[in-house]
A and B are shown apart, each in its own frame.
Chain A
Amino acid sequence: MSLAIAGMGWITPLGSGVDSVWEQLLHGDEAFATTITEEFGDRSYSVFRVPESALKSAAHPRLRRASVISRFAAAAGLDALNAAGLKIDSHNAQRTALIFATSNGGVIYTKRFYRDVVSAGAQSASPLLFPETVFNAPASHLAAILGISGATYTLVGDGAIGLLAIKMAEDLMANEAIDYCLVVGAEEIDWLLCDAYRRWRLLRAAPPIEPFSKQNRGMILSEGAGAILVAREGPFIVECAHPGGYFARRAEAEETLKRILRDLSQGEIDLVVAGANGTFVDEAEYRALKAVVPNAFVYTAKPALGESVGAAGLWQVILAVQALRFAELPPVLHADPACSLRLPRSRTPVAKARRAMVLSCGLNQQAAGLCLAIR
């Protein structure tokens, strides 16, 4: 069963609007890094934040007290529906499913809630904050704003979760009672996350992200959301969403990725939107891509947009669709000149590209992939 992409939306550190951000990427733009400082010390972290102007469409009473991750999800989800011209009404409210994907969820309110508990005791715990700490709070807000009353799921995982959510959409739409599935991935930034990734030696002190570099200097975290409305008809089809896999140890990531690539590359693959982010992921992807699809163009937007974890997979799918749609790839920024993959070093036409693969290797043992084609 193949599915179509009927609409897309994203909220990124380069702003919102699928075509607007795409145009910036084609021009080689990269997000502006800001710094956030930890609460208990003076360590600072470089991050790529979403500009407030990108969230205009997320002004809804339901979001008044919601965490920023819910606002990202709502803005991207609404944009995807608008792009598809779909209005949720009494006829399709139960025939439209919602899948929300995230890795860390509402970390800002979670930390704030627990901080109050630790510093002032359980009696200081806020009953207003607690519901927003739950992983499915953004999905709940988005379902309420859109009026979706049928199936709503929140999926949690690592950077592969966006693609796994599309796989779940494929499974859900095997049921003829569902016409559309809105898949939204989102993440918000907090210093606590930066500290955690730093302790895992995955974070870089300052940009740039250098993809496919042998040094694995690390990533820069970013925030935002991506949304895709999956339907049965449309010019871009999801030929196959791989169920994914996991690797018990980082050294096994390469083999997991190879298996996914082999399963997906039954036909010719013109380009791959990879997840390379300056960490151990890059070498695993490099080796897998080199072994299985050595002739495909390989693009990663992480140097320009940062590592948005739960949103990243959806962004990658949007990038692949845009590349097929406009037959062009943006430049891969800050790539190792010695990298022997077929990286577009400048804005590169891909006139005959018909099939694209999206590959995602998460930082917490999950990997996934999917194959897109232009009809």
Chain B
Amino acid sequence: MAQAGNTNESNIGARVAVVAAGVVSPLGVGLTETLQSLRNARDCVSPVTRFSVAQCRCKTAGQVPDNRLLAGQDEGRRSRRLHRSSHMMIHALKEVLTQEPHFKPELTIIGTTSGGMSYGERYYRSLRQPEDLRHAPTWIANYPAQKPVIDAQEIFGISAPCQVIANACASGTNAIGHAFECVRSGRYQRVLAGGYDALSEMVFVGFDSLQASTPDKCRPFDRHRTGMVLGEGAAILALENFAAAQERGAPVLAEIIGYGISTDNFHITQPNPSGIGPQQAMEGALQSAQVSAKEVDYINAHGTATVFNDAAEGKAISKLFNGVPVSSTKSMMGHSLGAAGAVEAVFCLLALQHQFLPSNINFTASDDDFDLNIVANEARPAVLHAVLSNSFGFGGTNASILMRSFKE
């Protein structure tokens, strides 16, 4: 398996602190609302309103309301032209900088799957009706995947170079994992990492065409699961060399201690049924952190609720871990694709800070194919020291990160 960091005990590298975080998702705008939704196990999936889903099997998604997204943002012409992804990134970065106003990253690494796809859709549709093309340059200008990252940075005067990772649904976790490696290696002191994705018709229809999305509720790891629902959001973590953070008196919210990445060459849309890809990513994260599976207190699973993905991940978790509490928070807000790993990393951070297990809602019955300790339907208090977050994506890309509560 690919362990992301040096595992030589004498050379594990620098400790990596999370010193700030920001999040926007269907569960809420900001950490406080998000925490409340997680604790209340809120179902934030609702009927899709952004485009017609009349011909789709699935009719629902986790959505961030526009009025929340645009609240408090500049109402100028330039701001109005920005893609929703940019607004989500601006919210997330603003929250980070509210906590750490002087955080100057040397690099920003962000995951996404589809950039400003809905502007691409509008542009393509408008080409069929040429009289509507007056906005085309704006749509094209705001379509590139790096644009929301640059928009957010520019607003807050951050000039760090941007890397945009598009590893499908693992993108957000890959971005955080790679950022972790960059700091741990000593090559960087401060890195912003996260992910974003906004709901788009094309992607929605795409998953529907694969029959991966469900007309039912999203029920990860349930015997009666029938598929995923989509979501959207953005999240950013500020990572810093632990010693540097302590030296300047920055609050350490948690540590990232391990990262594993693997590539499962089985099929472009399906995991190897054996679960070897997820298993290798999780093993890599454990080895990278030099911790044993027994030391993991909670797993935020990828858990899309598709039959094949959950089976592969469930088998891998069953094989490596013995009764560790597991939940997929996608049950509450849908799968936000490139944002998912980053949003779920923030959920893990909140779980560590507030010592609780986020729930896996809509759960009715265990699947006999794997033996998991599902945090069913309600959040639970728990003593958490180390938590694992998984993300797996199209193209057989698998990523896991391991976080730990801060210890002096």
Contact partner, B178, options A121, A126, A153, A245, Cβ 8 Å: A153
Contact partner, A157, options B125, B146, B207, Cβ 8 Å: B146
Q: Which of A98, A125, A164, A248 has the most CB of B within 10 A?
A: A125
Q: Mark B151-174, 1 if CB is under 8 A from A, else 0.
A: 001100001011111111000001
Contact partner, B154, options A121, A127, A148, A248, Cβ 8 Å: A248
B206 an interface residue at 8 Å Cβ cutoff? yes
CB distance from A307 to the nearest CB of B (A): 15
A130 an interface residue at 8 Å Cβ cutoff? yes
Assembled-state Cα–Cα distance A258/B393 (Å): 39
B393/A118 in contact, CB under 8 A: no
Report B97-149 residues with CB < 8 Å from chain A CB.
Answer: 106-107, 112-113, 115, 120-121, 123-125, 127-128, 130, 133, 136-137, 140-141, 144-147
9 nearest A-B residue pairs (beta carbon): A140-B395, A150-B2, A135-B166, A130-B206, A125-B209, A122-B55, A144-B265, A244-B161, A174-B185
Collect the chain A residues with CB atoms within 8 Å of residue B144's CB.
Answer: 103, 156-158, 364
Collect the chain A residues with CB atoms within 8 Å of residue B210's CB.
Answer: 127, 130-131
Known contacts A155-B166, A156-B115, A156-B166; A195/B127 CB under 8 A: yes
B62 an interface residue at 8 Å Cβ cutoff? no
Known contacts A158-B146, A200-B141; A122/B205 CB under 8 A: yes
Q: Which residues of A contact B (CB under 8 A)?
A: 38-41, 94, 98, 103, 105, 110-111, 113-115, 117-118, 121-123, 125-127, 130-137, 139-141, 143-144, 147-158, 164, 168, 171-172, 174-177, 192, 195-196, 199-200, 243-246, 248, 364-366, 368
B150 an interface residue at 8 Å Cβ cutoff? yes
Assembled-state Cα–Cα distance A122/B262 (Å): 33
Q: Which of B124, B185, B210 has the most CB of A within 10 A?
A: B124
Collect the chain B residues with CB atoms within 8 Å of residue A122's CB.
Answer: 53-56, 205, 208-209
CB distance from B120 to the nearest CB of A (A): 8
B396/A154 in contact, CB under 8 A: no
Contact partner, B395, options A115, A134, A157, A176, Cβ 8 Å: A134
Contact partner, B4, options A117, A151, A200, A368, Cβ 8 Å: A151
Name which residue of chain B comes closest to A100, CB basis. Answer: B166
Assembled-state Cα–Cα distance A316/B235 (Å): 35
A150/B261 in contact, CB under 8 A: yes
A117/B397 in contact, CB under 8 A: no
B130/A40 in contact, CB under 8 A: yes
Collect the chain B residues with CB atoms within 8 Å of residue A368's CB.
Answer: 161
Known contacts A130-B210, A196-B140, A243-B107; A143/B261 CB under 8 A: no
Name which residue of chain B comes closest to A174, CB basis. Answer: B185
Assembled-state Cα–Cα distance A111/B211 (Å): 21
13 more contacts with CB within 8 A, not counting A144-B265, A149-B262, A364-B144, are: A111-B124, A115-B124, A127-B210, A130-B209, A136-B393, A137-B395, A143-B265, A153-B167, A153-B174, A157-B144, A157-B146, A176-B6, A368-B161
Contact partner, B268, options A111, A137, A172, Cβ 8 Å: A137
CB distance from A192 to the nearest CB of B (A): 7
Report B25-68 residues with CB < 8 Å from chain A CB.
Answer: 53-56
B3 an interface residue at 8 Å Cβ cutoff? yes
B2/A127 in contact, CB under 8 A: no
Assembled-state Cα–Cα distance A165/B385 (Å): 35
22 intermolecular pairs with C-beta atoms under 8 Å apart: A38-B127, A40-B127, A40-B128, A98-B263, A113-B206, A118-B124, A122-B209, A131-B210, A134-B166, A136-B397, A150-B262, A151-B4, A155-B165, A156-B145, A168-B163, A171-B181, A174-B187, A175-B4, A192-B127, A196-B140, A246-B146, A248-B154
Name which residue of chain B comes closest to A259, CB basis. Answer: B159
Interface of B is mostly: mixed
Assembled-state Cα–Cα distance A158/B53 (Å): 33
A113/B202 in contact, CB under 8 A: yes
B161/A245 in contact, CB under 8 A: yes
Assembled-state Cα–Cα distance A59/B1 (Å): 29
Collect the chain A residues with CB atoms within 8 Å of residue B194's CB.
Answer: none
A200/B202 in contact, CB under 8 A: no
Collect the chain A residues with CB atoms within 8 Å of residue B167's CB.
Answer: 136, 139, 152-154
CB distance from B401 to the nearest CB of A (A): 14
Collect the chain A residues with CB atoms within 8 Å of residue B121's CB.
Answer: 114
Collect the chain A residues with CB atoms within 8 Å of residue B199's CB.
Answer: none
Collect the chain A residues with CB atoms within 8 Å of residue B165's CB.
Answer: 153-156
B5 an interface residue at 8 Å Cβ cutoff? yes
Q: Mark B244-261, 1 if CB is under 8 A from A, else 0.
A: 000000000000000001
A140/B394 in contact, CB under 8 A: yes
Assembled-state Cα–Cα distance A98/B3 (Å): 15
Assembled-state Cα–Cα distance A177/B181 (Å): 12
B73 an interface residue at 8 Å Cβ cutoff? no
Assembled-state Cα–Cα distance A98/B105 (Å): 26
Collect the chain B residues with CB atoms within 8 Å of residue A139's CB.
Answer: 167, 395
Q: Mark B375-408, 1 if CB is under 8 A from A, else 0.
A: 0000000000000000001111100000000000
Assembled-state Cα–Cα distance A358/B339 (Å): 33
B182 an interface residue at 8 Å Cβ cutoff? yes
B373 an interface residue at 8 Å Cβ cutoff? no
Name which residue of chain B comes closest to A139, CB basis. Answer: B395
Known contacts A113-B202, A122-B205, A135-B166; A365/B150 CB under 8 A: yes
Assembled-state Cα–Cα distance A148/B53 (Å): 38
B269/A131 in contact, CB under 8 A: yes
B369 an interface residue at 8 Å Cβ cutoff? no
Name which residue of chain A comes closest to B5, CB basis. Answer: A175
A125/B265 in contact, CB under 8 A: no
Name which residue of chain A comes closest to B268, CB basis. Answer: A131
Assembled-state Cα–Cα distance A171/B183 (Å): 10
Collect the chain B residues with CB atoms within 8 Å of residue A38's CB.
Answer: 127
Collect the chain B residues with CB atoms within 8 Å of residue A125's CB.
Answer: 205-206, 208-209
B166/A136 in contact, CB under 8 A: yes
Assembled-state Cα–Cα distance A118/B107 (Å): 39
Q: Mark B206-231, 1 if CB is under 8 A from A, else 0.
A: 11111100000000000000000000
